[in-house]
Amino acid sequence: MTERKEDRLVQWILFAFGISSILIIIIIIAFIVQQGLPAMQYYGFFNFIFGMTWAPTNMQFGVFPMIVGTLSITALALLMAVPISLSCSIFLSEIAPPTMRRILKPTIQALAGIPSVIYGFFGLIVLVPFMRIHFGGTGFSMLTASLILTVMILPTIISISEDALRSIPLEYKEASLALGATQWQTIKNVIFPAALAGIITAIILGMGRAIGETMAVIMVAGNVVQIPGSIFDPVRALTSNIAIEMGYATGLHYNALFATGIVLLMVIIVLLLIVNYFNYKNKVTIGGGYL
């Protein structure tokens, strides 16, 4: 009887911790919405989202150029990071010998532990002068920020993609090889398609990591509020806008920065919904035996 009471007590404690995490998220979202709503009500939701001018001194709070800047930096970073990440994850899961895997995997994971400001310093000292010398301009650009983000999101995409590839049952690989397929044909036609849902999840989580990055982007992107005409133009991201101006913002300007946070939350929530959809789809596919 005592053991049953202890089990119930532990269950209730764990349940309380689970509920508390949900409550914390709800409180954070409610606080940001409550603080940012006055700016959206004053300026208008669509004017705020699609406005082209960010001039707090003139009470103009259009964040569309920063939305475009954020998405452009992220898209370019993914364009460079995804092929590298998938190639590396396939190599680690299917080709690399055990000794090399023991060396490479911790090295890749160590990239995730480097503070973003260190990446920013590297970009500021190495990449910005390189861009200035070879491509002209100031060197602070969308491309420079995307290169830094590419390195920063590699560990996320590689680790999750490798786990997805290694989770495929060994029988699939053995059956393909037994039918006469080569190792590459097995990877391309059997293992990779079976792990596609997990790989897409890895890419979306990497995208979320890139969208939420602040310090490194501030240091190398140029922080000009404009829609970039090329990858060599300076841009300002949503996160950079909040970090740069929050220290001195007051009144409606302060509320507008929180409203910028609402836009970021909307983007992240959409990404999480997509991740959950692919996870659900993957579980249904495995459960139904369609892999």
Q: Is residue 11 part of a domain?
A: no
Distance of alpha carbon 240 from the chain centroid: 15
Give whole-number Cα distances, 26 to 19, 33, 170, 198, in Å.
11, 10, 42, 27
Angle between helices 142-166 and 128-135 (to 10 degrees): 120
Q: Residue 8 has what pLDDT? A: 82
Other Cβ atoms closer than 10 A to 150: 20
In a structure prediction context, what are the per-residue pLDDT tens digits for the chain, which is 291 residues long? 566 777 788 888 888 888 988 899 899 999 999 999 998 888 888 889 998 889 888 888 989 999 999 999 999 999 999 999 999 999 988 888 888 888 888 888 888 888 889 999 999 999 999 999 988 888 899 999 999 999 999 999 999 998 888 888 888 888 888 888 888 888 888 888 888 888 888 888 888 888 888 889 999 998 888 898 889 999 999 999 999 988 888 889 999 999 999 998 888 888 778 777 766 666 555 544 444
DSSP 34-51: HHHHHHHHHH-HHHHHH-
Q: Domain count of the chain?
A: 1
CA distance 252 to 59: 8
Q: Residue 177 has what pLDDT? A: 83
Q: Is residue 206 part of a domain?
A: yes
Q: Is residue 39 part of a domain?
A: no
Q: Is residue 183 part of a domain?
A: yes
CATH number reported for the structural domain that contains residue 212 in this entry: 1.10.3720.10
Give whole-number Cα distances, 247 to 57, 83, 244, in Å.
15, 39, 7
Q: Residue 255 has what pLDDT? A: 92
Host H or E run for residue 222: none
Q: Residue 182 has what pLDDT? A: 83
Q: Is residue 35 part of a domain?
A: no
Q: Is residue 137 part of a domain?
A: yes
CA distance 173 to 68: 43
**Residue 175, domain extent:** 63-244+274-288
Q: Is residue 157 part of a domain?
A: yes
- Residue recorded with tokens 């790989």: 199
Q: Is residue 115 part of a domain?
A: yes
Residues β-bridged to residue 54: 61
Q: What number of residues does the chain have?
A: 291
Give whole-number Cα distances, 29 to 2, 26, 42, 203, 263, in Å.
41, 5, 20, 25, 11
